[in-house]
Structures are given as C-alpha cells and as structure tokens.
Structure 1
Amino acid sequence: MIEVQQSKKRCLGVLAATLATCSLVATSLHAGTIPSGAQTLPIGQSVKLNLLTSGEIPGVVVGDKLFKEFIYSWTNNMPAPENVNVTAIIDSDDNFGIRFQGSFSDLPGDLVASDASLSFSVHVVHEPTNGNSEAENGYGSTRFLISDAHLKSAVFLDEGTPGSFGSVDESFLGNVPQIPQTLHVFNSTLGQGGKKSEDGVIFDNTYEWLHVQKDIYAFAAEGANAPVRMTIIDQTFSQVEIPEPSSATILMMLGSVAVMGFSRRSL
C-alpha cells in the first residue's frame, strides 16, 4: 500500500509539472512572436523598407500578422530600399497584409533587365478568445494558422512594342512541410504576349509562420516608348481558426491517464 501511495505522489508530481509546462507553452503562444521594437502599423500607414532590412525596425504588426526578417537586393533601375514604402493593408476578404510601393521598373534603351529580390517571414499573432484565458467550451484560446496567400500587382508597359516583359514571382522555400506552389503575375509583349494581375494559392497544410520570397523582374524593349513598371505589389494572407484545449481540459486528460496507471499498478 505504501508503495502505491508513493507511486501516486510521483505521478501527481509529474502531472503538475506537465501542466505547468503546458501553461507556459500556451502563454508563449498567446504572447505571439513580436520582437521588442516592432512597430504596429494602422491600415494605410507605412515605413521605409530600409528601416526593416537594417533591423532598425525589427518587424511590423498589421492586424493579426507580424512581418519581419526582411532582405532586399536590387539591380539596374529597381529602387533602393529607402525609396520603397511598406504599407499596412487589408483586402476585400478582411485578410491583413502589406503593400510594397516604389518605382519597380526598367527603362528602355540599354537592353539590360532590372531585377529585385525581396524576402521576409510572416507570423500569426495569437490572442486569447474574448480576452479570457479559459473559455466555457473547454478551449482556453483560439489559435489561427495561415492557410492561403494572395498576390496582386498591375504591370504596365508599352503594349504596342514587342519584346517587353515584367513580372512578380513568389515562392515559399524553406518551410516545413514544404510548399511546392508558387505565385506569378506578369505583363508581356514577348511572343503571343499576355497578362495576369492577381494570383493566389491555398496551401496543402497550415502554418503558424512562413518564409516568403519574391523576384521582381522588368525588361523594356529597346524601341519601347515607356518603361516596364509596377509601382504597387500587394500581399495578403488568409488564416483558419483552430481551438486549443484549456488548462482544465489538459488536466482532466492527464488525470485520466494517471488514474488508468494507478489502476494497473494496483492490480
């Protein structure tokens, strides 16, 4: 009997430690991943891209999303980061995101394309349900995960001169699970030509955060009367709701496991 009681005490100790760990993890999730010094942007407000790439501003929070870890490089006629605005936006489906506004372009005449590479990470900012740590339905908070990505940009060029092309290509490399899908908007007078101003993808999995890469490319034909240019690139992300169990629910589940263990040892 004494051995059984000691076993019960040990199990209860493990149970309490496990519950404390679960509470710490839940608290960490609800606190989000917002770095110290990150700036919250109201819709329509902006910061310069160079402040984000340099780390002077370590990230921006737009609604329920955090954007950080910005890296930018450019060639030829593409804008320097101090000439690019990063603006908080929300789309018609209430998805939060950011707009890159600048003179992303290539001038005709030199037969050298202009290109810019832009990457960042996007994170979900978690908040407890209704501001409460415990909900009546047994779930302590509502967790959201990213499910979709949306890309929009109008590419302008001299439609009457063949040989011009502009595009924004987007990939999601370095994520787990891997994301094979890509996004692509463009305008072209190469060959048969064509244009596409919007693209989107529903991922096969959901993510708490994502790596995102963009390649912005422009080439103006030698005889073109206008540069290839895209001055606005919009990026938004959708998310889905996933309830999380409350501390009480976790305790009941762990308690049930402990009772089953006691019963087996008693037999």
Structure 2
Amino acid sequence: MKKLILVICLLPVMATAGELLSGYYTEEEVRTFYPLDVSDQTIIRKSWYAGDRMLKDEQWQGKTIARFDKGMIYQLDQSSNSYVEISTQFLRNNASSGLSGFGVTDAKGRISFPEDLFIRTESTKQIAKWNCYQVMTNPKYRTPEGPYVVFWYSEEVDFPVEVYGDQLKQMFGNSAEVEQFFDRIKKFEGYPVRTEAHDIINTYTTLMKIERREDIDPALFEIPDGYLGVPLPEDFPAEAGQP
C-alpha cells in the first residue's frame, strides 16, 4: 500500500518532467559597427531551439519567440510589456528583401543564390577555442560598393549546421529563399562560428557557446503574462533580425 501511494505521489512530478523539451542553446556576441561618429554596439544573444519553437533574447533590444507550429513570430518589447505578432507568411513574402545582402540581385530586384555564390579561401584563424577557415562571397558576384558576407567555419564544433538554419528561419521565415541560401551554406564542412555581414553597417556575429539541452522549459516559448499585443508598425522591417 505504501508503495502504491509513493507511485501515485510521483506521477505528477514525472508528468511535469516529461513536458520538458530537448534541443539546443547558443550564446553569441553580436557586434554592430556603424559609420561616421555613431558608437559601435555589442550585445550577447541567447537562443533556445526546440523543434518548431525558438526563443532569441537580445538583451535590451528585446526578445523574439518563433512558433512555427502556430505560423507566428512574436517580438516582445520588455520596456513596455508589449508584443507584435508577425506571421511566418509575412516573413516568407518579404524574404527576398531581408536576404538581399547575402544573395545576388538582378536589375529587376530578384534575388538568387548561385551554386558558386560562396567560396573557400586559404585564410584561417582561431576564434574563441575553435580553429576556423574562411568562406566568403565569390568576388565575381561582388560590386565595389555592394554588400558581401564572410563566414568562419570550424570543424571542431560538434553540432549540426541545421541549428544555423533554424536561426535563418526565425529571422526570415521558412521560405524558398531561406532554403536556397542555407543549401549554399551547408555545402562546407563544419559550423559557421562567425558571420560577418559587410554593408554600410557591418555586423559580426560570433558563436561563444553551443550545447545540447534536455531540460528546456516550454514556457520559454509562450508570451509572458501581462504582455499586451499591439499592431504591427507600418514601417516594420521585412526581416526579424540579423544572422
């Protein structure tokens, strides 16, 4: 009888534990370099990935919750306890605009991602604890003043590159353009430890930590109590972030 009571008492605990999600956790340093006299900015981005749910915490810049199971992205403003809803369809429809700095844009504004869009160079360097090699936009697709991207890959990061693909989906939606872009990225061995997006404003995103998690709380992917939904601004950008 005592054993039966013990089992009954443990059931709620076991059920609660079973609700925890498995996935990945990353920490990245995001450095933004502005032109002229504007001060550079550095934040630490923390992200959780659990299947079709993702959370990106960018300190004072706010949080972004991606719920692809619901077809929605939620951007939270912690200063006003408010959030806006962005459909994944909206991101898909505007993916070309958000990814314009990474692909090749023709005279009609159409973006493409040729097979040889990125090439591996002879350059290597150590970033954090990882030995890396350089991949960059093929010079034949670059213009003197146009944007380009540099990746630093490491084969010492024992994690699937699909985690990087999940980041792209969170920012630009799970669109055909994102799939094409990711197909070009995953051709190279290893994981992109650093992404350098070069344009008028340069953004360097550097991986600091990546680890598997079996204890992700599903509540992370819910809108906190007390937050009020507000309309999406008319000038809202096509992308939900920068990789």
Q: Which has the higher contact order (CA 8 A, sep 6+)?
A: 2
Q: TM-score, normalised by structure 2?
A: 0.24
Q: TM-score, normalised by structure 1?
A: 0.22
Q: Higher Cα Rg: structure 1 or 2?
A: 1
